[in-house]
Amino acid sequence: MRFLFRPPADEAAGLLALPWGEPLEEWPDDQLLEVPQRGISRHVVRFAASDSTVYALKEIDERLARHEYAMLTDFEAEGLPTVSVLGICVDRPNDLPAILVTRFLEYSMSYRYLFSMRRVDHTSEQLIDTLVELLVRLHLAGIFWGDCSLSNTLFRPDAGSIAAYLVDAETVERHPSLSPGQRRYDVELATERVAAELMDLEIGGLLPDDIDPIEMATVLPQRYEALWDEVTREEVLRPEEQRYRIADRLQRLNELGFAVEEVELVSCPDGGVKLKVHTRVAESGQHRREFFRLTGLEVGEQQARRLLNDLRSFRAWLEQRDGRMVPDTVAGHRWVAEVYQPVVEAIPRDLAGRLAPPEIFHEILEHRWFLSEQAGRDVGTTAAARSYFATVLPQTPKEMTTPSVAAGGLT
């Protein structure tokens, strides 16, 4: 057998004790983990832990494994929203297929798990929009998915919204750019697969009664075209409107989660200009980068947007109280120490891991607004946190997180 692991290779040391010479479906349960929010796969997929990290292991033809390993490696390096690959095991005895090893995406879940949760904050329309955004990002990067579906996507809560990540790259093709025909075919395949998956949810009693799976799936192409047009279209601007129209376009793109790589202005014979906007295809990051600069915390894009608002309110309160300006970086570090960290440290131990700490903080802010509306006054973050921990968080299904499963994994 041979193992091909990306650096740092020592991360995989704890996995070497697994029975790689046996068919994956026959591995003993005491060496594996059960992931309740996993999706449906055409291949044998199992989960294991090593040094507080959870890994997904997929048994697959070696040619496909090598292709997927290479594609996911490139995508991660480019910042695309995909799972992170660790390595592959090839040349297994008795002509066994290869095993692709990826890192489990913390706090993520399958579409089936999302709909099976008793506490569902995400609609089917959100799911379609999130999948469309992921597909547009991949197409901008010249990536033909070929198997876009809800099953091949993982979803992670992000401040009341959800973010989508590609989890299966077997059929992916990489091109310098995609033709309209390639994009259209990829969207058609996605529409067919999503319709079948939503129908399956309906048969299983998981789809809300007011949702027609066919109607829901057939909106995917229109929403794709609308987003693709917003991200890529060229506009002709008159001289007097150039400044505000350019600013408005860039603002809309940022709100959609696309970072602008370059703005190109081409003069027209009539005195106007043609606006071309080149977007960066990496995972959305304007607010994430700003929040990280101020706090040193890594969070999701929508989480960053929400938490930045709270940080700015805190800064304004500091300046009003102290009667002097407070630098934004100083306010950021004080917000972490005096506001965010005390809330995180107060999460009851038996509830830790239900959601990512930034998502919990976001929900506490929402809960604070709700309680304040009821009380007719601001109840404060501390009181809102106590109430949230007592009444809301216990209703959230326990998710799979690496800290909570490490004790049951390999050492």
Residue 382 has pLDDT above 80, yes or no: yes
Residue-wise pLDDT tens digits, 167-180:
999 999 999 999 99
The 3-state secondary structure of 182-226 reads: HHHHHHHHHHHHHHHHHHHHHHCCCCCCCCCHHHHHHCHHHHHHH
Point out which residues pair with 98 in neighbouring strands.
60
Higher confidence at residue 408 or residue 178? 178
Comparing 90-94, 141-145, 158-162, 278-282, the range with the smallest average pLDDT is 278-282
Helix, strand, or coil here: 19?
Answer: coil
End-to-end CA distance of the chain: 22
Average pLDDT over residues 246-252: 71
Average pLDDT over residues 107-123: 70
Kindly report the CA angle at 60 between 56 and 64, in degrees rounded to 5? 110
Q: What is the pLDDT of residue 68?
A: 95
CB atoms within 10 A of CB 40: 14
- Cα separations (Å) of 310 from 346, 364, 384? 18, 11, 14
- Cα separations (Å) of 100 from 15, 22, 61, 146, 352? 13, 15, 10, 19, 30
As a whole number of angstroms, the distance between CA 256 and CA 248 comes to 12
As a whole number of angstroms, the distance between CA 141 and CA 135 comes to 10
Average pLDDT over residues 337-357: 89
Residue 396's φ and ψ, nearest 5 degrees, are -85, 125
Residue 77 has pLDDT above 60, yes or no: yes
Q: What is the pLDDT of residue 282?
A: 43
Contact 40, 76 (CB under 8 A): no
As a whole number of angstroms, the distance between CA 175 and CA 364 comes to 44
Omega into 403 within 30° of 0, i.e. cis? no
Residue-wise pLDDT tens digits, 271-288:
666 777 666 544 456 677
Residue 312 has pLDDT above 60, yes or no: yes
- Supply the DSSP symbol for 400: P
Cβ burial 47-68 (10 Å sphere, 16+ → b, else e): bbbbeebbbbbbbbebebbbbb
- Give the mean pLDDT of the chain: 82
Comparing 48-52, 184-188, 216-220, 269-273, the range with the smallest average pLDDT is 269-273
